[in-house]
Structure 1
Amino acid sequence: MTKPARKRARAVTGAQRGSRHEEPGEGGADEAVAFIAEQVAALRKLAERHKLDVLHYLLGMTQLEADEHLRLRTKRKLS
C-alpha cells in the first residue's frame, strides 16, 4: 500500500506579497518587536512550567534580543 502524496505548502515570497514594506493596517517594526517580546514572555513561562529547559533558554534569548532592539530604537529616537 502506498501513502498518498502530500501537497507542498507554498512559501509566500516578497514578489507575491508586494514589497517588504508594511501591509495596510499593520504596525511598524517597533510595534512588531514589542508584540514579539510580549508573546515570547508568555511562551517562556509556559516552557518553564513544563520544564522544557532548552526552549525556556532559547525563548529567553529571543526575549533579550527583542528587548535590546526596542531599547536601541528608543535611544535613537531620543537623540
Structure 2
Amino acid sequence: MTRPGKKRARAASGAPGGSRHEEPGEGGADEAVTFIAEQVGALRKLAERHKLDVLHYLLGMTKLEADEHLRLRSKRKLS
C-alpha cells in the first residue's frame, strides 16, 4: 500500500503494450478496459465468496460491459 500523496514507481518495460505493473490508463482505452475487466472479475469473485449479492451483481454487469466494449472494438478492427 502506498502513502497518500505518493505515486508508485512504474516498472520500465521495452514491450510495446507496456508492463502489467504500469498504472492503468497508460496504454490507451483498450488496455484500460482490459485491465478493468480483469480487476472487476477478481472483485466479483470476492463479493460472491462473502455473499455480497448486490456488489456481485453490479460487478458482473460491469464485467459484461467491459467485455462487450472489447468485443465490439476487436470486431471494428477486423473490418
TM-score, normalised by the number of residues in structure 1:
0.68
Q: Distance in 1 between matches of 2:75 and 2:51?
A: 36
- 1:1-79 map, 5 Å: 26-79=26-79
* Rg larger in structure: 1
Q: What is the letter of the counterpart of residue 29 of structure 1?
A: A
Q: What is the letter of the counterpart of residue 47 of structure 2?
A: A
Q: Runs of 4+ in structure 1 displaced over 3 angstroms? A: none
Name the structure with the higher helix share. 1
Root-mean-square deviation over aligned CA pairs: 1.1
Any gaps of 5 or more consecutive residues in structure 1? 1-24
Residue 5 of structure 2 corresponds to none
Of structures 1 and 2, the one with the larger relative CO (CA 8 A, separation 6+) is 1
Corresponding pairs, count: 55
Q: What is the letter of the counterpart of residue 51 of structure 2?
A: K
SS in 2 for 1:26: coil
